[in-house]
Amino acid sequence: MRRQSIIRNVIKGEMAEIWELFSTAEKNEMLGHFEVKSFKKNSIIYNEGDNAAYLMCLIRGKVKISKEGVGGRSQIIRLVRPLQYFGYQTYFAGLPHTGNAIAFEQSMVAFLPLEILEQYMLRNSKLAYFFIKEIAKDLISAENNVVSLTQKHIRGRLAESLFTIKEFFGLTPEGYIDARFSREELANLSNMTTSNAIRTLSAFAKEGLVEINGRYIKIINEDKLSKISKFGW
């Protein structure tokens, strides 16, 4: 009973956006299929090649989606913030997961079997349209990311990554970006080597664009950093 109560509260609260798209009968049925799990920092939620079996919604915490590239080098291809859905796109393409999902900090994730979701979508056009829009937004974001990573200088790529992290995770009360990325993770997000990420971030600090406190970063000169991000140099 307590488990059902927790799941109901999570769905009706954090996942209200899709909860309201279900009929009363569907809501009652759906409760029996949902699971909510907690993941410690750096825990793997799924691996590349795993069967895509669940719609996942990040309730609390931070998640990164990464993919192994040439020479085993990791590339962060997506960040997931609370109330975002992930892990479902490849199911509808008939493919396994194409990346690894890792909890970037202590996180809570809700799971719904995709076979169940697909049944709902076939008879609920509003629900189907909701996920069509979600996939479309992901596609636009991916296209913009490709342009950034292939055409911008490393300064532009790192500047854009800092703004992306800020947009996704917000700021601490002290004004720092509320995410503790290692230099390697910044490099993996920005498509550069770790040494280039270290040198570029240090240059930003010397130029008065950012303030660095361990893994915390504060953007000081947003206008100038934004120009670097926009024009790619």
pLDDT score, position 28: 79
Rounded CA separation 9/19 (Å):
11
CA neighbours closer than 13 Å in the CB half-sphere of residue 194? 7
| Per-residue model confidence as pLDDT tens for the chain (233 residues) | 455 666 667 666 667 778 888 888 887 788 788 888 999 999 999 999 999 999 999 999 999 999 987 777 788 999 999 889 999 999 999 999 999 999 999 999 999 999 999 999 999 999 999 999 999 998 888 888 877 777 789 999 999 999 999 999 999 999 999 999 999 999 999 989 999 999 999 999 999 999 999 999 999 999 999 999 988 77
Sign of CA dihedral 153, 154, 156, 160: positive
Final residue before a domain boundary, out of 92, 121, 141: 141
Co-location of 136 and 170 in the same domain: no
Co-location of 8 and 78 in the same domain: yes
Write out the two tokens for 100.
């690894």
Co-location of 54 and 136 in the same domain: yes
Co-location of 123 and 196 in the same domain: no
Residue 159 inside a domain? The answer is yes
CA 120 from centre of chain = 25
Co-location of 112 and 194 in the same domain: no
Q: Work out the angle at residue 84's Cα, subtended by the Cα atoms of residues 225 and 74, and round it to the nearest 5 degrees.
A: 60
pLDDT score, position 4: 60
Residue 68 inside a domain? The answer is yes
Burial class (CB in 10 A: 0-12, 13-18, 19+), 43: middle
- Give the total number of structural domains in the chain: 2
Position 143, amino acid: E
Q: H or E element: which one contains 223?
A: helix 222-231
Residue 80 inside a domain? The answer is yes
Q: Are 91 and 115 in contact (CB under 8 A)?
A: no
Write out the two tokens for 168.
């996704």
Burial class (CB in 10 A: 0-12, 13-18, 19+), 200: buried
CATH code at position 227: 1.10.10.10
Domain ranges, residue 99: 2-141
Residue whose pair of structure tokens reads 């994730």 in the numeric block: 109
Alpha helices in 93-193 (DSSP H): 114-123, 125-151, 154-169, 183-190
Residue 42 inside a domain? The answer is yes
Final residue before a domain boundary, out of 87, 107, 141: 141
